[in-house]
């Protein structure tokens, strides 16, 4: 054999041998080293996983009445991923679907487009990779037309689902407290492990506000997984395995539907009266159990129908929920509304004055006006009274006594040139009562309110100085009322020059809950509950227990431990007695005329807070019975008038409903909230 031919054959044999070794090695890797991995991939080519939605748990009141529950509905959804693979991007399918659902293709396209800052509602705010619900009130006839002709509706899903329903037991809505659901976004899917997407409401919706958001994990349950066998064309040939969905737990709350309905009704009636008088009001009401902090009712006006979120929301509806022209009904003014409290704040100022050395037994002058520096600060309508004790000062709501306290304290702290560590008694006492800080209620969106001080004044001045100085020069030519324009210009000049100073007027305004003081109705209810219970600042709690679908208790939600008020018990008892006289001989006597005080004596305080450009904000903060108190009730109505004329009558109606006065059945049996959990049926 030719030597050259022999060499070539040898090289060829070596190459073939090497290739065989590589092939054998690769086969060993595929079949042995990574055999299990590729076996699983092959199995997945024959199976598909279908996520089975879990039914979301209900939200119940303290008697087990459903505030939120589920109804069974036939829901039609559209899979945009499937439509996008069709030659016409799914236009023909949407056209046929529109005919079945008695709508238009254009309307379906609007519902299935993705939301963005530039895209108005209706649109889809969820993940683009999940089916998009377009109708949740489909009839059986419409559903059958879709299910019987799958070739005409490729990418369309018709499935029976559980849809949120709001039965309004006893007429109670509690919309802002309950919250609402919205589709999961892709960002949330990326962040939260364990969230699965099906295109069905039970899994793909997430709590956005209220209790639905706070207790979303408890309510949503655990979705199941059904693994099905498929053939080469993707057709299901059988079920390989199945893990059942675990329904969400039920949430039992401290809310009582009857009391909640009474609060909403009383707010609506008083708002109607304010509107009739020319006002444009907003309102809020709170009922707390004073010993525990349990939230028995929490209402806000204007309110809205939470069913607007079901099946998508139009841009008009969305704007109405958030727009200031419609009153921003999505906002709970009970926990997220901040308002000057007016004279209801005097409980804090009285405690501060006594702690600073003013005698509980002292007699103090109450002239119609009192000069704070060079400016006269007046009583309501400049009414003068004879000298009086602090009990009487609360009963008739004398402002000038508190102006005097605040002014003298301000001078002792160094006036405009404060000492190194100013005492600021009224500022510090306000914080002792919980003002200027969140209460810790188990609802999202709570705001802290504001107790202004020197640091806040400096910060605010730095942020507004440029505008104030500009207005000091240009004035307010756009304001037609010359006196108002001149007043604002004078304020701008003063703020431009020394707006960072804590002035005597700031201290005086704070003492009567005016100026830059802002509180929430819930904060005020908690402060009055602390007086009622002897000095404990409770933590408000809406939820009571999480109950499994079979009715067993998963966990009880006990209110957090409250903190003790750093206020002398004699002062607290003194204020209790003074507040008890307000409804019989003071500023709320007219509103409570004829109320059966011998059965339930209501203690409270009116507040009438000035609001520039609007009528006064009306307040009434209370607790009852005056001794051995059970409940604290607060009502606030903006753009109304005096607290005695508008807020106190609303509070009276709430107590009448609670105890069954004025020919009304009692909302609470024996005036007591239930201590035991209700039985929850499976």
Query: Given this model, what pLDDT does residue 130 score?
Result: 67
Closest listed residue to residue 267, CA positions, set 211, 332, 317: 332
Query: Given this model, what pLDDT does residue 327 score?
Result: 80
Task: Say yes or no to pLDDT of 428 above 90.
Answer: yes
CA dihedral of 437, 440, 444, 446, whole degrees rounded to 10: -30
Q: Range with the lowest mean pLDDT among 113-117, 285-289, 411-415, 574-578? A: 113-117
CA R_g for the chain: 33
Closest listed residue to residue 262, CA positions, set 674, 654, 670: 654
| DSSP E strand stretches across 110-230 | 132-135, 156-165, 181-183, 205-207, 224-230
The ranges assigned to domains in the chain are 48-253, 257-341+520-671, 343-428+445-511
Query: Given this model, what pLDDT does residue 148 score?
Result: 84
Q: Range with the lowest mean pLDDT among 44-53, 116-125, 656-665? A: 44-53
| Stronger pLDDT, 7 or 487, i.e. the higher one | 487
- Residues 265-315 have pLDDT tens digits of 999 999 999 999 999 999 999 999 999 999 999 999 999 888 777 656 666
Show Cβ contacts of residue 241 under 8 Å, excluding neighbours closer than 6 positions: 226, 227
| Stronger pLDDT, 189 or 504, i.e. the higher one | 504
333 pLDDT tier (thresholds 50, 70, 90): very high
d(CA 401, CA 391): 12
133 token code pair = 């619900």
pLDDT average, residue stretch 464-484: 91
CA 305 from centroid of its chain's CA atoms: 15
Task: Say yes or no to pLDDT of 128 above 90.
Answer: no
pLDDT average, residue stretch 31-36: 68
Query: Given this model, what pLDDT does residue 19 score?
Result: 78
> Are residues 621 and 287 in contact, defined by beta-carbon separation less than 8 angstroms?
no
- Residues 526-570 have pLDDT tens digits of 999 999 999 999 999 999 999 999 999 999 998 889 999 999 999
Task: Say yes or no to pLDDT of 193 above 80.
Answer: no
658 pLDDT tier (thresholds 50, 70, 90): very high
- Which CATH superfamily includes the segment(s) 257-341+520-671? DD-peptidase/beta-lactamase superfamily (3.40.710.10)
Query: Given this model, what pLDDT does residue 418 score?
Result: 92
Query: Given this model, what pLDDT does residue 38 score?
Result: 58
Query: Given this model, what pLDDT does residue 657 score?
Result: 97
524 pLDDT tier (thresholds 50, 70, 90): very high
- Residues 44-87 have pLDDT tens digits of 556 766 666 788 899 999 999 999 998 877 888 888 878 888 88
Task: Say yes or no to pLDDT of 202 above 50.
Answer: no
Residue 501 parent element (H or E): none
| Stronger pLDDT, 445 or 183, i.e. the higher one | 445
Query: Given this model, what pLDDT does residue 187 score?
Result: 67
d(CA 514, CA 343): 8
Distances in whole angstroms, Cα of residue 498 to Cα of each of 345, 385, 406, 416, 476: 27, 35, 20, 10, 20
- Residues 138-170 have pLDDT tens digits of 888 888 888 888 889 998 988 777 788 999 999
Residue 169 parent element (H or E): none
pLDDT average, residue stretch 325-340: 91
Query: Given this model, what pLDDT does residue 668 score?
Result: 96
Task: Say yes or no to pLDDT of 200 above 50.
Answer: no
User: DSSP secondary structure string, 103-124?
Assistant: S-HHHHHHHHSBPBTTBPSS-B
245 token code pair = 């969905």
| Stronger pLDDT, 390 or 127, i.e. the higher one | 390
Task: Say yes or no to pLDDT of 230 above 70.
Answer: no
Query: Given this model, what pLDDT does residue 50 score?
Result: 63
Mean pLDDT of the chain: 89
Task: Say yes or no to pLDDT of 572 above 50.
Answer: yes
Distances in whole angstroms, Cα of residue 344 to Cα of each of 132, 269, 270, 479, 619: 50, 22, 19, 33, 7
CATH of domain 48-253: 3.90.1310.10
Residue % of the chain over a pLDDT of 70: 88
| Stronger pLDDT, 614 or 399, i.e. the higher one | 399
- Residues 4-14 have pLDDT tens digits of 666 676 777 77
223 pLDDT tier (thresholds 50, 70, 90): confident
Task: Say yes or no to pLDDT of 236 above 90.
Answer: no
Query: Given this model, what pLDDT does residue 214 score?
Result: 96
Q: Range with the lowest mean pLDDT among 4-8, 422-426, 641-645? A: 4-8
pLDDT average, residue stretch 219-223: 85
């Amino acid at each position: 054999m030719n030597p050259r031919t022999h060499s070539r054959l040898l090289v060829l044999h070596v190459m073939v041998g090497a290739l065989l070794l590589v092939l054998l090695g690769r086969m060993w890797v595929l079949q042995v080293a990574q055999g299990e991995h590729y076996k699983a991939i092959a199995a997945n080519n024959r199976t598909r996983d279908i996520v089975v939605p879990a039914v979301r748990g209900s939200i119940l009141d303290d008697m087990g009445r459903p505030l939120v529950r589920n109804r069974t509905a036939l829901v039609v959804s559209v899979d945009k991923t499937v439509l996008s693979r069709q030659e016409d991007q799914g236009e023909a399918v949407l056209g046929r679907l529109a005919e079945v659902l008695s709508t238009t293709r254009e309307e379906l396209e609007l519902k299935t487009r993705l939301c963005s800052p530039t895209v108005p509602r209706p649109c889809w705010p969820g993940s683009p990779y999940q089916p998009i619900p377009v109708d949740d009130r489909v009839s059986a006839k419409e559903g059958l037309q879709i299910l019987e002709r799958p070739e005409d509706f490729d990418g369309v899903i018709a499935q029976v689902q559980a849809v949120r329903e709001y039965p309004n037991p006893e007429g109670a809505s509690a919309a802002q407290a309950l919250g609402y659901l919205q589709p999961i976004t892709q960002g949330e899917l990326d962040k939260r492990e364990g969230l699965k997407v099906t295109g069905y409401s039970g899994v793909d919706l997430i709590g956005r506000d209220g209790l639905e958001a706070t207790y979303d994990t408890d309510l949503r349950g655990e979705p199941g997984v059904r693994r099905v066998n498929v053939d080469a064309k993707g057709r299901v040939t059988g079920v390989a395995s199945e893990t059942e969905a675990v329904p969400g737990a039920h949430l039992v709350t401290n809310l009582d539907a009857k009391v909640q309905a009474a609060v909403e009704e009383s707010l609506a009636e008083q708002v109607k009266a304010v509107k009739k008088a020319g006002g444009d009001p907003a309102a809020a009401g709170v009922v707390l159990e004073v010993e525990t902090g349990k939230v028995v009712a929490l209402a806000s006006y204007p309110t809205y129908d939470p069913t607007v979120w079901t099946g998508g929301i139009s841009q008009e509806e969305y704007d109405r929920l958030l727009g200031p022209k419609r009153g921003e009904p999505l906002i709970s003014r009970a926990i997220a509304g901040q308002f000057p409290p007016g004279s209801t704040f005097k409980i804090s100022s009285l405690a501060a004055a006594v702690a600073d050395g003013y005698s509980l037994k002292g007699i103090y002058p109450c002239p119609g006006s009192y000069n704070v520096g060079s400016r006269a600060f007046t009583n309501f309508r400049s009414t003068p009274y004879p000298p009086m004790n602090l009990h009487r000062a609360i009963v008739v709501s004398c402002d000038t006594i508190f102006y005097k306290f605040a002014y003298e304290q301000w001078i002792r702290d160094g006036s405009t040139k404060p000492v190194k560590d100013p005492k600021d008694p009224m500022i510090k006492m306000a914080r002792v009562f919980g003002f200027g800080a969140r209460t810790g209620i188990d609802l999202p969106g709570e705001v802290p309110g504001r107790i202004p001080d020197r640091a806040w004044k400096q910060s605010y001045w730095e942020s507004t100085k440029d505008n104030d100085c500009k207005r000091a020069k240009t004035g307010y030519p756009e304001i037609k009322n010359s006196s108002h324009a001149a007043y604002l210009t004078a304020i701008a000049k003063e703020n431009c020059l020394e707006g960072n100073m804590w002035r005597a007027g700031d201290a005086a305004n704070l003492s009567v809950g005016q100026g830059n003081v802002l509180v929430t109705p819930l904060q005020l209810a908690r402060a009055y509950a602390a007086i009622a219970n002897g000095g404990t600042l409770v933590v408000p709690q809406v939820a009571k227990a999480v109950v499994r679908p079979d009715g067993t208790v998963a966990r009880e939600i006990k209110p957090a431990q409250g903190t003790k008020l750093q206020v002398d018990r004699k002062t607290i008892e003194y204020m209790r007695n003074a507040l008890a006289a307000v409804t019989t001989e003071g500023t709320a006597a007219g509103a409570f005329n004829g109320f059966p005080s011998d059965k339930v004596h209501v203690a409270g305080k009116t507040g009438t807070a000035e609001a520039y450009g609007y009528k006064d904000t009306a307040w009434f903060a209370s607790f009852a019975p005056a001794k051995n108190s059970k409940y604290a009730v607060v009502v606030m109505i903006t753009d109304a008038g005096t607290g005695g004329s508008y807020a106190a009558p609303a509070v009276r109606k709430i107590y009448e409903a609670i105890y069954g006065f004025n020919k009304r059945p009692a909302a609470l049996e024996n005036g007591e909230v239930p201590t035991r959990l209700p039985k929850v049926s499976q």
